[in-house]
Structure 1
Amino acid sequence: MKITNITTTECQIPLRTPFKTALRTVDSVHDLLVRVETDTGAVGYGEAPPTAVITGETLGSLHTAVEEFIAPALTGMEVEDLDTVMTRLERCMVHNTSAKAAVDMAIYDLFAKSCGKPLYKVLGGARNTLETDLTISVNPVPEMVADAKSAVAEGFRVLKVKVGKEGLADIPRLKAIREAVGPGVALRVDANQGWTAKQAVRIITALEDAGVNPELVEQPVPAHDIDGLEYITNRVATPILADECVFSPADALNVLQRHAADMINIKLMKTGGIWQAQKICAAAEIYGVQCMMGCMLESKLAVSAAAHLAAARSVISCVDLDGPSLCSVDPYTGGPVYEGARIVMNETPGIGITGVPGFEEV
C-alpha cells in the first residue's frame, strides 16, 4: 500500500457553548483535515487543531507543514513499513507536532485497514469502551455551578473544571461546585499553568482540608517550571498531572525520573501522533505511572484516533476526550460512538471514520 497523495481541507464546527480556559476563549472548532491516499484506493484521515497558545501552530502553519514539507517527504512510501514512514515524518521538520499528528493518525488509520482490524486492536486492544469526563469552562461561579449540575444530569460522573485565572478565588469556586454536585462526582481540576508553585500548594491544601477532594490537579504551573511542578507534587496528597510540560518521550522521561508529577497527560497534538505517544506509554509503564488520554479542542476525527490509543493501552487509566460532546454537530460518518460520557469503539477497520466532508471522492 503505497502513499500516492496527501491533501488537506478545513472543518469549522460551532461549539455548544464557548470553551474558556486560563489561556483562551474559543467559540468553534476550526481545524485542518488531512487525507492520505494510496495506490490501492484506500484512504486514511487525520485532523489537527491550530492551538497556538500551546503548540505554536496556526491554520496557516498547519497547511504549510503538511503540504510543503510532510507530503513531499512521505509520498511514495509503503504504509506497511510503518517505522520507516514514522521516522521520516518525525525528521522531516522540527516541531509542528499537530501537523505531524494529523498525518500520523491518517497513516495509522491506513495501517489498521491493511490489517483488517480496528486500530485499537492493532495497538493492543485493552478494552472496547471508555468513560470520558466533560469540561466545565472558566466562568462566573453561578454559571460554572449550573454547567456542572447540567453535566451530571446528562450522565457525566467525572468533570474537568477549568481554573487558574483568579488565584485563591479558585478555592470558593471549586467548593461551590463540589457542594452542588455532591461527593459522588469526581472533579479533575485543570489550572492550565495559571498558578505559581507556592500558590498551588496553598490552593490544593485548602481544597483537601475543605473536603473538595479533587481526583487530580492538572498542570498547575507554567510548562517550563519543572522545579515548581516537583515542589507541588512533593507537598500535597492530591495527584498532580503533567500536561503542557510533556510533549515528547524525552520530556516524559524527565518528569518520570524526577517524580515531578504523579501522572502524565498524553495528547496526540503534543506528541506528534500515535507513534511517539506509544513511547510515552511504554516509559510510564516502566515507572509504574498512570496516564490520561487528553485532547485539544478537536472534533470527532482526531478524538477518535486518541480514543483508539486509549482503548489499546491499560496504562491510560483516565480519559479526557470530550471534544465531540462540546461540538454542536457531528459531520462525520462512522468511527467510535459517543454516548454522553461513554465511548464505544468501532469494530470496523482503522479509526472507522468513512465520511469526511470537504474532500471529493477519490
Structure 2
Amino acid sequence: MITKLNKKSVVLQNLSLQSGTAFLSYEELASLAKLQERLTDENDVNNFITRSANAPGSTEIASCVAKKYLDDPSLMDNLVVKTRFFLNLGYYFVPALSKAIDAIEEDITPVDEVCGMVPSIARDIAANFLELRNPARWDGNGDVPNDTYFSSMPLDFPIDNAYPNQTIRLQLVQVSKVNPHYVCACSIFEDESHAGITEKCTNGAGSIKEIEDAILFVSRIYELREGFSRDFVETVNMYPTEYRAIRKALYGEEALGGSTGVIFSNKVLFKDGSVMTITYTGDGKGKAWGEAVLTEKDSEKIVARSPISYTFANHWKLCFKGAVYHAFIKITQ
C-alpha cells in the first residue's frame, strides 16, 4: 500500500523490510513506475517472440527473425524499447512490434566497407615512388648532387583498390630555373585524356609524408568531384558481463541508485586512422546514457559526436569530411 506523507515523499507499507516502511521521493517513485512498465513490456515482447520462434506461422513475425532476437539479448532489449516507442504513438501491440523490428533491421543491416584512399595505401605509393626516383631522399634544393640518383620521369600507380579505373601519377618537377628547386607533383586520372584531373605539389622532393599528404589531398578532391562516398566499418566485441552492466544501468534496474561514472568505454580504430570512442556513463541516480565521439588520426580533438542515447545501440554511426564511420556492437558468447 502506498500512502502520501507530504508533497515531497510517499511511504510504502507492508514491504519485506526490517523497518516495515520505505520512504521514496516522487522521482524515485517515477523511476519505479518506469521500471514496472519496462518489465511488463519485456514480458509481453518475450512471450510473443518466443511463440513466434517455436510455432512458425502462429504470429505475424517470421520464425527465423524471432529466433535471431531470442539469441541476442541486446536486440531483444532494443525491441522492447522501440515497441514501447510505437505503443506510445498509439499503435496496437502487434503493429508496434512489427514496426520496431523493421526499424531495428534497417539499423543493423550490414554496411559494405568502401574506404577509398587511406593513409597506408598513400604511404606505400609514396615510399615506392621515392625508392625508384629519389632513393637518397634528396630534398630537392639546389642542383642534384653528382653522387645521387634522381629522375624526373613520371611514375603511374593504378589504385583500383581505392577507386575503380583510377591512377595516381607522381613526378619530380623543377619549379624554378634561376634557383633550382624540385617538388613532387601528384595527380589522379582515369586515362591519358583526363590526365591532371586534380593536382597537388609538395614543398620538397624527398619526404614520404609530404607525398602521402599530397596523394590524400587529390584523392579527397576526386571524391568530392565524383560524389564518392566512404564507409568505414568495424565491429566491437563486448563481453556479456559488460553488456549486463550497461543494461542494468540503462533500463531502470537501478531505479533507486546505481553506477556512477564510466560503465563501459571502448576505442575503435578505423583504416584511415580515425578513432571512435564509445562510452556508457551512469550518474548514480538511476540514469545512464551512451555516447560516441570521433577523433582524427594522432589527435585528441573531437571532430564528430553522436546524440546522447538512453538506450543500448547496436550500431553507432558518425560522419566527418565526406566519410561515414560505422561501429557495430557484437555481444560475444
Which one has a bigger Cα radius of gyration? 2
Structure whose residues are more often helix by fraction: 1
Q: Classify the TM-score, shorter chain.
A: under 0.3
TM-score by length of 1: 0.23
Question: Which one scores higher on RCO, CA 8 angstroms, separation ≥ 6?
Answer: 1
Structure whose residues are more often strand by fraction: 2
TM-score by length of 2: 0.25
